[in-house]
Amino acid sequence: MKRRHRKKLPSLWLMTDERVAEATLVAAAARLPKGRAGIILRHYRTPVRERRALFDRLADLARRRRLVLMLGGAARQAAAWGADGWHGRDVRRSGRPMLHGMPVHDAREMRAAVRAGADCLFLSPLFPTRSHPGGRWLGRVRFAALAGQAHAPVMALGGVRREHRAALKGIGASGWAAIDGLSD
């Protein structure tokens, strides 16, 4: 990771999803280990005013617990809202140092993320997920092959739970991210 941000890159991430009730999401964020985790607010379909209110609520919690908070979408919006970084395919930089996380699902997206110089990659789905029932998943072998192409830390996402932690390093993951695995 390039030193573009003052906070250390966490190895544990809570991903938000509109399927999860706000109270459940905030409770999950409050359980994250102090100073050692991050939150990525996606909620792309949520109206801007409501999304901003949720961001502000999570930002307050993140400040108190020394968590990294990234906003899904554009770097400029993340900077304007005071996020620690942005998560998405936008490769334009903001006016201040910020972390950049990119989603990766296949070899083409891995090459794009490497070219973009993202600080961390969220490779998914490792396992079947509730958020994409019946969807195709990578499995350990394909995950490891893709992770081996990365030039940045790779976070395992998709059906990952606490009990998978021990096996993740062996397949090239620097950490993990979850929706249901951290909010159940």
DSSP class per residue in 70-139: EEES-HHHHHHHT-SEEESS-----SS--EEEEEE-SHHHHHHHHHHT-SEEEE--SS--SSSTT----H
Chain length of the chain? 184
181: closest CA among 130, 124, 137, 120? 130
Rg over CA atoms, the chain: 15
Residue where the block lists tokens 């893709």: 146
Q: Are 111 and 146 in contact (CB under 8 A)?
A: no
Name residue 40's beta-bridge partners: 15, 70
d(CA 16, CA 20): 8
Per-residue pLDDT 10s for the chain (184 aa) are 344 555 689 999 999 999 999 999 999 999 999 999 999 999 999 999 999 999 999 999 999 999 999 999 999 999 999 999 999 998 877 777 899 999 999 999 999 998 999 999 999 999 988 777 777 889 899 999 999 999 899 999 999 988 888 889 899 999 999 998 898 7
DSSP letter, residue 17: -
